[in-house]
Structure 1
Amino acid sequence: MLASEFQPAASAPLLSAALDRVSEAILFLDMHGRVHRANKAAAALLRRDLASLVGAEPTDLGLPEQVMPTPPPDDATGDAAAEIRGAHDEPDFACELTIRHPDGSRSRIQLHRYDLSSDLAPARALLLMRDVTTEVRLRERDALMSSVADRSNRAVVVADHNLNILYTNAAFASIFGYSAEEALGQEVEKLLVGRCTDPAIVERLKQCILDEQGVEEDLLIYDKAGHEIWTTAHVKAHRNRQGKVKYLVGLLSDIRETKQLRSLQQLIMSSLASDVSITTIADELCRQVEKLAPDVVCSILHVDSDGRVHPLGGPSLPPAYSASLDGVAIGPEVGSCGTAAYLCQPVLARDIDTDPRWQPYKAGPLGAGLRACWSTPIQGKDGRVIGTFAFYFRECRGPSPWHEQIVQACVQLGSLAIERQEVRSTISQVAYHDMLTGLPNRARIPSMIAEAIKACPEGSHLAVAFLDADNFKDVNDTLGHAAGDEFLVGFANRLRAQIRPGDMLGRLGGDEFVIVLQNRDPLEASLAAARITAALAMPLTIGKRQVPMSASMGLSLYPDNAKDIETLIKQADQAMYKAKRGGRATYRFFSADIDKLAEERLMHSTALREAIASEALTLHYQPQIRTRDGAIHGVEALARWHDPVLGEVSPAKFIPLAEECGLIEQIGVWSIKTACQQMASWRRAGLDIPCISVNLSPINFQNVNLAAMVAQILAANDLPAKMLMLEITEGVILNERATVIATMNELRNMGVGLSLDDFGTGYSSLSRLAQLPIDELKIDRSFMRDFENDSGTRAIVTAVVRVGQSLDVAVVAEGVETEPQRKLLAELGCDAMQGFLFARPMAASAFSRWLLDYSAHRASLMLRQVGRALAQATGSATAAPARVAAAAS
């Protein structure tokens, strides 16, 4: 009912009653701007008594001056009903303000003022007010929440129970490209789910929502441009009091950089730290990439130093196609990968079928349904291309931005993995291969044999052959280390040429080699050993010289002799020493007897080390007698070893053992010191010994400090240098090292004598002999055995004596045991003799007594000779003895 329908008499009460029922606060202002009428809602809103409101000015009530009425037109008339009817449809002033109540509280008020057109009533303006405090708080909270959501880097989506979007924040627009207006009302699934989104994950998200559980999943979805975006989706349902879903809130985080690509980095780093093979790393990297980009097939190739590709990873490619790529040379028209590696830039073939670079290679990928290929080179730190990273597509297309991000990360990871593998290969080559010959070295050989044993079929044999080059030291010492290296390379090449596929060859070190002969029974192993021995018999040309080559070889059979690697090598080594003792340039198989000898050798070498360390060796002394008058020419100091357990050990055993074990130099130094000390003791005792001879090894002469050390020993014992004679074997003649010759000259200049021992048994060269600073030649005892009866031996001895005479050096014959031998040597003009005919080697005390007895015996002989001479001179043979005796007394 309209106010205009009220009768004037009844309109005022009815209007008041009606106004009191209105929820909005209403104030009527008169022409003076005071409150003319108010309803109960106004009193409640302004928190004042209704009566106190009438007559109050709006400013007293906390209202702004703008609410004051405008003056009425001159012809304005009307009643209360006309006041309302005359109000404008639109307020002429509106605002939202905060007012303070008498009790100090505050309220937010929405105010509208309407000018009344009628001047028949006192009211000139109508104020409508509404308390919007709660609404403002909610609005401010919503604005704050929206502001916070817009500042987040996580996309926020609010949807109704039908998954229609109600709200999206600024991050949603930034990540997915949809503005809030474009997203509003759209169904979430239709807007974001694409061809490679996992439907199982989508269903799992929906189910968890229905089950009243918040859920978080990694999900591949798509932006407005159709590009892939990996997100972590956290979805939570909000329900009303009845438990029905009212709306859904989803938080979507872009995890492409922070999680997915980082997972690839973690994969590579952990794999590298775990020492995983490069192929395993590459395959796993490809699998992870294909999870991140389900619409691609991934491939990684290695490019070697020769510019050829080798598959590293590509588990989703057909194996036959991957195998066909192995060894293909890169070039400007070699598919996508070969061209990318050659040009060092990414290459995209949108259509493999028509791309000219793919024509010779397209059958493989096209047969697997792969239509396009995008390849990016992998570069090392030095800029060279070391690999390629490729994406194959099942459609004729190019990469998306997400693909480009993946490749950018994977190229760096691939570079790290490949360079690490190259470094490991280099280290492995150095650590497990001999740098000179390129063969597996000592560290690699045990695993090499283990691989051979593992591959050995049940019931089959294999042989481990241990080879030692004969006389390699002579080559090294005579021709120098460079020639020795060339010899070893030639030796290794000879061996390579004789082994068949499946056999293995390695170098233990020095001149020692190992061959593993696969699937050989004893007969076959013997034939192989004979063939290798024959192949090594041909001399090797080094420079302009023909150098003889041969090897001593020992063989041990698996599983007959042993089943473990260490024992097989040990047994083959023992058999090799048996071959050396058998004359060299031959081979021997391991047997139990060899094992026994090896144990004995080990026991002796251990005891010898202890004897040297504890100075348990002794020197025995054997005199050398001048041929012309029987006087003492000198004395030779000979090392002897008596072990508490082993007993007397022959020098023929322990001297070669010392040479094998590297102890001979220590024995030589000890011998010089001990012999010089003994010589000084004899001199103090008044014994007249012209010089003492000490045996040294050619190894001693390689010590540049030998001369200085000898000088120090002589000085410590107050001995003149001429009283020391150092005996050396013919091996020193083969040694052309400058150090050895310089050491010999230095000793000779000091006055120390040098004696060439065992002359005639080795490789003596008269031309070299003439250049050596020697003072004495010694004829080996082996010539004395047949000297009396064999004309050939006598001729050799005669030649040696003549050589000594021509070089003006003394000649001493060893091993003289019979009087006929002595007489023959005397007839030849040999200067001195040494052997059992005169005395056996003796301890120092025994030698002192022998020397006194011998001197007395010589004196007695001389007296007899003098007596005979006097008797002949006086003609009285009977009186002579008495006169001689008187003269002697």
Structure 2
Amino acid sequence: MRASDCPTVDTPEFLLAALEQASQAVVIIDGDMHVSHFNAAAELIWGVPRTEILGCDARCLGFNDLQNGADSEITIRRNDGSRIRAQLSVSRVEIGGRANHMVFVRDITAEVERRERIALLNLVADKTNRAVVVTDRKLQVVYTNAAFSGMFGYSPEEAQGRQASQLLAGRFTNRKTLPKLRRRIYDECGTEDEILAYDKNGDEVWVSAMVKPFRSARGRVKYIFALLTDISENKQLRSLQQLIMSALADELPITEIADQLCRRVEAIAPDVVASVLHVDSDGLVHPLGGPSLPEDYSRALEGIAIGPAVGSCGSAAYFGKPILAEDIDTDPRWQPYKTRPLEVGLKACWSTPIKAKDGRVIGTFAFYFRECRAPSRWHQRIVDACVHLGALAIERKEARAQIARLAYHDMLTGLPNRAQLRELINQAIEDCAPQKQLALVFLDLDHFKDVNDTLGHSAGDALLIEFTKRLRARIQPSDLLGRLSGDEFVIALPNCDPARASLVASNITEALTSPLWIDNRQVPISASMGISIYPDNATDIDTLIQQADAAMYKAKQAGRSTHRFFSADMNRLAEQRLVFSAALRQAIANDRLRLVYQPQTRTVDGALYGVEALSRWHDPDLGEVPPSKFIPLAEEVGLIEQIGLWSIREACRQMAAWRQAGLDVPCVAVNLSPLNFQNAKLAAVVAETLAANDLPPQTLMLEITEGVLVNERSAAIDTMNAIRKLGVGLSLDDFGTGYSSLSRLAHLPIRELKIDRSFMRNIERDASALAIATAVVRVGQSLKMAVVAEGVETEGQRKLLAGLGCDVVQGYLYAPAMSPEAFERWLLDHVAEQALTMRRCVDEARSQPTPSLLVASTGG
């Protein structure tokens, strides 16, 4: 019994004798806080004899504050230096009529140590990230740690007393695993098992469970200890990653990868049916994986366009964000598509877009549920992993497709390239029905090089793309369209006779009559076409293409924007073109071209303004080849730039020779191709050539066509500015026939405008030609540019131009283009004639009476 329950006694001796026999230490302290009794048990606890303690102040024992009826703990420092932990119980008693404190002291050192060990174990258990569960032998929970609460959401109070299986098992927990665990408990195998458990909210948690028994001294199972590790991410999700990465490394087809992904997902989330779709660049859906979906349902999805109300997947792809339909039956987005899913028990669908690195939606990953519900946290974690894996797989598929396109398709237009086209046409020839023909149409865009040189290659690309679209619109799906190179295209028309081929070509010509708008500029578009017929003209693809190519050149010679059929004599023309091309290359390489010079005279006084240098070619075998033939040929075969640079060097050499001979030729004009002005080194070449011939820059004028000026961002503008900084003049040739606008001339480094010879023919009779010439002269005057008229052949044309204020004329009225020697003779004659004319004018002026004399005689 407790000391506080002891009655008051009057016989201290009896009390003291009883206390002396007690097993518990007893210390009596009088009212002055002195020790009056210290029994044998107390001597053992403190390790000192009572003789040293009796009469001493109680504080020497560690008694600093004695409260009646209160229990407390103190640390006792023993005489040998050791320490023990003791529990005090204090009672107030009267002995001999005086109030005393009786203190019962019990050594609890072992209990404290055991208690601290338990607290430490609890602390460790609560700090681990593994859930700890202890149950009794009937599997009722007696202990859970903090990690268990974090993992499953149950507080210790909620978990205690519950059956472990009822607490953690759920609808899709493998019930076969639980008996197996029980057997292992009693067998003490110590192995781990993976179990799909459920938390308080019903969300799935994959755990690895290690279960062991605690036995009593008799060997009976007293408690069961379970250590649970969340392996949802560390193992289950990583297994997904390993599966897909291994499949990618093995170069498996995308459909097989998607199938494996869906099957693995359905194994770790048994309550879902997984699906993977690919979304192509046109926004069309293509099933990749969905092994648990009905096959007919997957087939029905093929080619469906994504949209804002196209089920969960089509909507997710359209909006680029997850879409959840908790009830397919009532969701408005599912109404046209719900029948088959509902028939097989799929009641909800959650779809998440799969995005490429550049943000494009390239697919969807979907979960179908067998009940109306939203996804769980576990589902979200799976989807987060699978969307990334799906992106890797689909992007690899796109990369492979891109490689195939690079190998077999033209990247700009998407058409089959030369290699693929040959295979397709050969197959079409093999498939050609007996007694049937195949027409092969060779198309070449007219003046495409001018567009590239003037508007830039981006405009050229835009033109090719639009050209492709218009061709597609005029042929049948069974016809073959491909791009050979540059602006050359081929159309193969299976089972097509010449009449239908001609109709197709005419339709294409009609489709190209509408000009294009490129960079806010209207650009005309047309094509020349050649047609060869299988098997009438040839039976192999190479010959057919060569024949159609020859026919196409015949169409160009006929004025372009038309078509021609191949005929036998075209082989001769094609061979002739090859011969001329080779001869022209040799002529340039061996310096066989020459320049002739046509004078330009001032309308005011007839004085020499300058000369225009014009290229001529005489071949030892081919004879005299006119510029109208070899200049277009040079443009087609890529030699025109070399001719332009040669012309600059030769013209400057000739000017230096004339100056040394004392001939006064103010300036020489050299025609250049737009391609020359795309060369950033042109200004440096010009400067070097002038310096080598000791010529001042104003003696050289470079003529350009106005097509060079169309693209303000073109490198040609920078080249023009660099040339003008040298002091070299720039003349705008054939003004009024190209693409440029008058408003831009003021901002360009042009010194001279040339009226095209085409306006001269009818300028005396045609009001339109006269109006154009007048406009050009007025523009030149307003911008302080010299105006030169080409092709002047009659005195009437000269007088009319002089009346308009045109500065310079050039043409057969004065002289044709001449060799340097002939021009020298003409110049001497022209100077002499000018001097004679001037003397005649002076003599006539002297022979006339002065105005003052006339007035005087009249007045008289």
Unaligned runs of 5+ in 2: 1-12, 433-437, 516-521, 557-562, 600-610, 707-732, 774-786, 800-811, 829-860
> 1:105 pairs with 79, 82, 102, which one?
82
How many angstroms does 1:375 deviate by?
6.6
How many angstroms does 1:192 deviate by?
1.1
SS in 2 for 1:399: coil
In structure 2, distance between residues paired with 1:110 and 1:635? 125
CA distance 1:251–1:467, shift in 2 (3 Å): farther
Please state if 1:173 is matched with 2:149: yes
> 1:392 pairs with 364, 368, 381, which one?
368
Instruction: Tell me if the contact between 1:637 and 1:692 (Cα under 8 Å) persists in the aligned partners.
Output: no
Q: How big is each residue's C-alpha offset from its partner over 1:104-154, in whole Å with a ceiling of 9 and x where there is no partner?
A: 1012234668999999xxxx9998765432221121121122134335554
Instruction: Tell me if the contact between 2:76 and 2:84 (Cα under 8 Å) persists in the aligned partners.
Output: yes
Q: How big is each residue's C-alpha offset from its partner over 1:290-342, in whole Å with a ceiling of 9 and x where there is no partner?
A: 4554212345779999999876875543243244355378677x766778999
Q: Pairwise CA RMSD of aligned residues?
A: 7.6
Q: How big is each residue's C-alpha offset from its partner over 1:715-750, in whole Å with a ceiling of 9 and x where there is no partner?
A: 96589989999999xx9699344589999xx99997
SS in 2 for 1:158: strand
> 1:297 pairs with 273, 293, 298, which one?
273
Q: How big is each residue's C-alpha offset from its partner over 1:16-37, in whole Å with a ceiling of 9 and x where there is no partner?
A: 99x99x9x55669799975586
Partner of 1:617: 591
In structure 2, distance between residues paired with 1:588 and 1:289? 63
CA distance 1:344–1:673, shift in 2 (3 Å): closer
Instruction: Tell me if the contact between 2:271 and 2:370 (Cα under 8 Å) persists in the aligned partners.
Output: yes
In structure 2, distance between residues paired with 1:307 and 1:748? 51
User: Structure 2 counterpart of 1:670, which letter?
Assistant: W
> 1:735 pairs with 724, 734, 737, which one?
737
Instruction: Tell me if the contact between 1:486 and 1:542 (Cα under 8 Å) persists in the aligned partners.
Output: no
How many angstroms does 1:168 deviate by?
0.8
Q: How big is each residue's C-alpha offset from its partner over 1:40-98, in whole Å with a ceiling of 9 and x where there is no partner?
A: xx66544457x979979895993759999x9xxxxxxxxxxxxxxxxxxxxx7755433
Please state if 1:150 is matched with 2:126: yes
Taking the TM superposition and a 5 Å limit, the aligned residue runs for 1:243-282 are 249-253=225-229
In structure 2, distance between residues paired with 1:410 and 1:455? 46
CA distance 1:528–1:214, shift in 2 (3 Å): farther
SS in 1 for 2:293: coil
In structure 2, distance between residues paired with 1:834 and 1:157? 109
Q: How big is each residue's C-alpha offset from its partner over 1:549-575, in whole Å with a ceiling of 9 and x where there is no partner?
A: 542368999x9968xxxxx8xx88765
For these two proteins, the number of residue pairs brought into alignment is 701
How many angstroms does 1:664 deviate by?
1.7
Instruction: Tell me if the contact between 1:209 and 1:236 (Cα under 8 Å) persists in the aligned partners.
Output: yes
CA distance 1:751–1:96, shift in 2 (3 Å): closer
Partner of 2:377: 402
In structure 2, distance between residues paired with 1:197 and 1:109? 52
User: Structure 1 counterpart of 2:442, which letter?
Assistant: L
Please state if 1:579 is matched with 2:578: no
Partner of 1:552: 530
Taking the TM superposition and a 5 Å limit, the aligned residue runs for 1:496-507 are 496-501=472-477, 503-506=479-482
In structure 2, distance between residues paired with 1:172 and 1:335? 40
In structure 1, distance between residues paired with 2:215 and 2:566? 92
CA distance 1:654–1:469, shift in 2 (3 Å): closer
In structure 2, distance between residues paired with 1:296 and 1:684? 96
Greater Cα shift, 92-101 or 571-580: 571-580
Partner of 2:204: 228
In structure 1, distance between residues paired with 2:739 and 2:318? 52
SS in 2 for 1:586: strand
In structure 1, distance between residues paired with 2:506 and 2:548? 16
Partner of 1:8: none
> 2:112 pairs with 127, 136, 143, which one?
136
How many angstroms does 1:604 deviate by?
7.3
User: Structure 1 counterpart of 2:550, which letter?
Assistant: K
Partner of 1:468: 443
Q: How big is each residue's C-alpha offset from its partner over 1:386-419, in whole Å with a ceiling of 9 and x where there is no partner?
A: 9987643223x322653685599589x699969x
Partner of 2:304: 327
User: Structure 1 counterpart of 2:81, which letter?
Assistant: G
Larger radius of gyration: 1
Instruction: Tell me if the contact between 1:321 and 1:364 (Cα under 8 Å) persists in the aligned partners.
Output: yes
Q: How big is each residue's C-alpha offset from its partner over 1:138-187, in whole Å with a ceiling of 9 and x where there is no partner?
A: 21121122134335554322346775544212332344343434534555
Unaligned runs of 5+ in 1: 1-11, 71-91, 433-438, 563-567, 626-633, 779-802, 810-828, 836-840, 856-889
Taking the TM superposition and a 5 Å limit, the aligned residue runs for 1:300-699 are 314=290, 316-325=292-301, 327=304, 352=328, 360-373=336-349, 391-395=367-371, 397-399=372-374, 401-402=376-377, 405=380, 441-442=411-412, 444-445=414-415, 450=420, 453=423, 460=430, 467-469=442-444, 471-472=446-447, 492=468, 495-501=471-477, 503-506=479-482, 511-515=487-491, 532-536=504-508, 541-542=513-514, 550-552=528-530, 577-584=549-556, 585-586=563-564, 611=589, 617-620=591-594, 655-678=631-654, 680-681=656-657, 684-685=660-661, 696=671
TM-score (norm 1): 0.55
In structure 2, distance between residues paired with 1:356 and 1:339? 11
In structure 2, distance between residues paired with 1:366 and 1:486? 49
TM-score (norm 2): 0.56
Q: How big is each residue's C-alpha offset from its partner over 1:739-767, in whole Å with a ceiling of 9 and x where there is no partner?
A: 89999xx999979999899x99xxxx997
Instruction: Tell me if the contact between 2:353 and 2:365 (Cα under 8 Å) persists in the aligned partners.
Output: yes
User: Structure 1 counterpart of 2:272, which letter?
Assistant: V
CA distance 1:454–1:671, shift in 2 (3 Å): closer
SS in 2 for 1:294: coil
Instruction: Tell me if the contact between 1:693 and 1:727 (Cα under 8 Å) persists in the aligned partners.
Output: no
SS in 2 for 1:189: helix
In structure 2, distance between residues paired with 1:691 and 1:65? 127
Partner of 2:713: none
Taking the TM superposition and a 5 Å limit, the aligned residue runs for 1:3-22 are none
How many angstroms does 1:195 deviate by?
2.0
How many angstroms does 1:658 deviate by?
2.5
CA distance 1:141–1:834, shift in 2 (3 Å): closer
How many angstroms does 1:251 deviate by?
3.9
In structure 1, distance between residues paired with 2:749 and 2:81? 122
Instruction: Tell me if the contact between 2:29 and 2:102 (Cα under 8 Å) persists in the aligned partners.
Output: no
Greater Cα shift, 138-147 or 184-193: 184-193
In structure 1, distance between residues paired with 2:217 and 2:421? 74
SS in 1 for 2:197: strand
Instruction: Tell me if the contact between 2:26 and 2:39 (Cα under 8 Å) persists in the aligned partners.
Output: yes
> 1:193 pairs with 149, 169, 172, which one?
169
